[in-house]
Amino acid sequence: MSSRSAEASIKGYNYQFLHTIKDILENEVDTYENIVEGIEDLDIVKENSSDLIQYKYHEEQSYQNSKVAKPIALMFKHFLENQSSNINYKLYIYLNTTKLPTITTNIITDILKIKEARKILSSVDTELTVEAIDGKSNEISTFIARFTWVLTQKYSELENDIISSFESIARLNSEEAKIVYFSNAIKIINDLAIQSDENNRKITKRDLLSKLNSCKNILYSSYIIREKSFTDLKKIVKKRKSALNIKKNSSTHVIHINNTNRENISSLIINLVKKFCFKDNKSDLNPLVFIISSTKIEYKNLKKSLYEYIDQNLILVNDGTEDYNFNINLFNAKPLIAKNRAGNKINHTSFNLKLLHEEVYKDNLSNINFSNPSLFVIDSKESNLSTLTEKQFYLNGLDNNQILELIGE
């Protein structure tokens, strides 16, 4: 697959998720059951009927019958097997054209006669004949009474519509709707889509909004960076930090590392530390806290590598001496800082960072004190530390320099 083809496929998949969000938000009743990746891309189960919806996105292509042969054949096949059910079939498609043809028995028949469509409709290895399609004229006439296709919006217009819906429904300002609700909604739909059990792919409009409200202080970089540039992401993170009052001198930055095999992980930790409680920085900056999820052997190797860097950079660690006998008072202590003559910069500090293995953290969770904590999770979309704070940033698909910029500035 060429890079251009791959990009088009990714954009088409993203478009499907965006339109899924839009259609859930437009449910007339907020308790309708929406099944993501059900029979079709989205199934909306209403009181006395169901809508089965397919989404297609062909940005640079004009209308041809062949472009819609597969989705219409799949819908028609389902219709033939479920004619007694009250099901409506919808094809939402974006094409580089101004309008779609009028739906008639003749045009649907012509589409179903295309080889790809006949193969889908066949129950054997050989596709149905053209004559067999002609023999289904009554079924086709009934099908088109339940079928509709809609020429949808371009990508950017769809995004703006969803953001406007969030502003209206959840009474948000444009910035919050765009930065938080939009990207988090994509994550929620993505998480539903990958579930193997259909029951776990169901959601109502009410549930979607409830989930979004519960994670309004959470930011997922991967669902922003695939739509925006890193420069955009950096601006977004900066705005979220400001909105959530996350400052180096008033918030404890807790960094959850899930991949100790990340390239140059020790260097990343040291470079982050140098942005906070470190010589010649402002004297009121809090030390970083690192919680590591790994095997004991991986953690031991990380510490060994880290201490090699520490010797070179004159950095001191407070781990509560977890390797011997963890002391909660030692770990909770604030650094003792010797300031410069002007009294505004660090000349020396008793430690520069706090470091713990996740198991030690969990065992002592009730006694560990953090001031106004904010959580930064590296290389994972989930965290066992999520109960620590509502202020969460999940940083995935980023290199060390990008992580350094997002956390350290």
DSSP one-letter code for 152:
-
Distances from the Cα of 311 to the Cα of 304, 307, 308, 317, 327, angstroms: 11, 6, 5, 11, 24
Note the pTM of the prediction, 2 decimals. Answer: 0.81
Residue 324's CB is within 10 A of a number of other CB atoms, namely 8
DSSP one-letter code for 192:
H
Q: Which two tokens mark 304?
A: 């060994």
Cα 168 from Cα 177, distance rounded (Å) = 10
Contact status, residue 369 vs residue 333, Cβ threshold 8 Å: no
Residue 307: its pLDDT value, please? Answer: 84
Q: Which two tokens mark 205?
A: 């409009």
pLDDT tens by residue, 78-122: 999 999 999 999 999 999 999 999 999 999 999 999 999 999 999
Angle at 250 between CA 351 and CA 389, to 5 degrees: 95
Distances from the Cα of 240 to the Cα of 157, 168, 276, 289, 322, angstroms: 24, 21, 19, 20, 34
* SS3 call for 43: strand
Q: In what order do the strands lie in the sheet with 50-58?
A: 147-151, 87-95, 50-58, 42-45, 33-36, 202-203
Query: For residue 255, which of 67, 82, 108, 400 has the smallest C-alpha distance?
Result: 400
pLDDT, averaged per 10 consecutive residues of the chain (409 residues), comes to 59 90 96 97 96 93 94 97 96 94 96 95 85 95 97 92 90 81 92 95 96 89 84 91 92 96 93 95 96 95 86 83 93 95 94 96 95 95 92 94 95
Q: Which residue has the tokens 């999520």?
A: 386
Residue 36: left if φ>0, alpha if ψ -120 to 50, beta else—which one? beta
Instruction: Give just the sign of the alpha carbon dihedral 34, 35, 41, 43.
Output: negative
List of residues 6+ apart from 332 with CB closer than 8 A: 367, 368, 369
Q: Which residue has the tokens 């998480």?
A: 191
